[in-house]
Chain A
C-alpha cells in the first residue's frame, strides 16, 4: 500500500485561481522524492493538502489508505493520529517557533503526542544534541540566527519521529556551511521506514538525495 496517494486532485484558491490541476501521485516509504518547479506552480498548495491544512477542490487524497477530508481531520483523535505520522518543515522556520526556549520548542510536539515527562526529556535531549543545539537550549528561538532556526525547526519535527517528512525549501536562506550541514542531515534521514518529500530549486541537493524527481510546471501539472 502506498503511504500517500493523490487521485486526480485539483485545488483552486478562494478567488477561483487554479493552484493544482488533476494531479495523480503515489508515494511510498523508503524513497526520497524531490519536487521541483517554478515559483507559483503550486508546490506549497500541494504540501498544504498533504499536511491536511487545505483540502482538494476535486479528487481524493489518501494517507495510508484513508481518505483525508476536513470532516475526518475534524475528529481530534484522527487529527492527532494523522499529524503524528507527518512532519512538515515550513519554508520560513520563524512561523514554527513559538515557545520561550529551544528545549521547550522541541518538547512542544512531544507533549502533544501524550508522551511521559521522562520520555519527552529523553527525546528532547537526544534531538537537541543530534542537531548540535546543546549550547542554545535555554535561548529564545526568535533570537537565533537563520541557520540555527532551521536546525531547531528540523529538530522539532524529527523529535516526533514521523514516518513522512515533508520539507519546503529546506536550504533557503542558508549559507554554504548551513546548506552542506542540512544536505548531510537529509541524507542521514533516508531509511526504508521513512518517506521524504522535499521541494527545492537546488540542483546539487536534488543530485545528492533524490530517488525520484517530481516536476511541476507553470500550468500546475505534475510529471515524474
Chain B
C-alpha cells in the first residue's frame, strides 16, 4: 500500500498531460471549443443515432492511434463507462434498459472525446487556451506552476524513495515502510513550501507585476478552417436526428 502510494506520487512525472508533445496543427482553442460543443450536443440529444454516430467517429479516430496509445485510452475509458452502467442498473429493473444504454454511450462518447483531445494536446496548449479566451492570467500561471511543481516534486519523491530502498535493504517491514512514506511525503511538502517561496522571489527579481503572457500564439491555418466546418456539420446532423429538419 505504502509503496503503491509512493509510486503513484512519483508516477505523476510520467503522466501524459505533462509529457511534451508536438504542437497541434489545429488551434487548441478550436479543439477545446468543438470538443465541448460536441459533448453538449450529445448530452442534449434524445436520439441514440446521433450519440452512436459521434461515438463511431471517435472510435474511428481512436483506431488510427498506435496500439499502445489505443490501449492506454481504452483503459481510461472502461472505468467511467462501467461505473455509469452500475449506477444506471436500476433502470433495467424498472423496465427502461435503453436508458442505461443511452446514458452509458453518452458517457463513453464524452470521455472518449476528452481522452483523444488529451492525446493530441500538451498541457501547455491547454493552459494556453485560457489566455486566448482572456481569462485572468493568474489562472494560467497557477495551472502552469502547479504542473511544474507536480513534475519536480514527483521526481523528488521518486529519488527519496529510491534512496530509502537502497538504504533499507533487507530490513523492510510494513511499519518501517509506513514511517518512511510519512517521512518522504513530509520532506516533499517542506520542499514544495520552500520552492514556492523561492519561485516567488525569483519572479519578484524579474520584476513580476502580474503580467503572464505567452510569446508564441497559434496562427490561423487551413486546418483550422477544416476543423471549423465540423461545427455546422455537427449542428445539421444533430437537427436531422432530432427531427427538427
Interface residues of A (CB under 8 A from B): 51-53, 76, 79-80, 83-84, 86-88, 90, 92, 94-101, 103-104, 107-109, 111-113, 120-121, 124, 138-143, 156-157, 160
Contacts and interface: CB of A to CB of B under 8 A. Distances in A.
Contact of B209 (A51, A88, A112): A112
Q: Is chain B's interface secondary structure helix, strand, loop, or mixed overall?
A: helix
A108 B140 CA distance: 13
Interface string B115-159: 000000001100110000000000001001100100110000000
A121 B208 contact: no
Given A83-B206, A94-B152, A53 B215 contact: no
Given A51-B205, A76-B209, A104-B214, 9 more contacts: A96-B202, A98-B202, A98-B203, A100-B124, A100-B128, A103-B216, A112-B207, A139-B20, A160-B207
Contacts of A84: 207
B144 A95 contact: no
A138 B144 contact: no
Interface stretch (B178-186, B193-201, B222-230): B193-201
How big is chain B's contact interface, by range? Answer: 20 to 34
B206 A86 contact: no
A98 B127 CA distance: 13
Contacts of B219: none
Contacts of A120: 215
Contact of B207 (A79, A90, A97, A139): A79
A103 B20 contact: no
Given A92-B198, A95-B202, A113 B207 contact: yes
Given A90-B198, A111-B211, A142 B124 contact: no
Contacts of A111: 211-213
B152 A83 contact: no
A148 B127 CA distance: 24
Given A107-B213, A111-B211, A98 B205 contact: no
Contacts of A96: 199, 202
B206 A112 contact: yes
Interface of B: 20, 23, 123-124, 127-128, 141, 144-145, 148, 151-152, 195, 198-199, 201-209, 211-216
A88 B207 CA distance: 11
Nearest to A156: B206
Contact of A98 (B23, B128, B145, B204): B145
A112 B211 contact: yes
Contact of B206 (A103, A109, A124): A109
Contacts of B144: 98-100
Contacts of B215: 101, 103-104, 107, 120-121, 124
A108 B202 contact: no
A157 B205 CA distance: 9
A138 B124 CA distance: 10
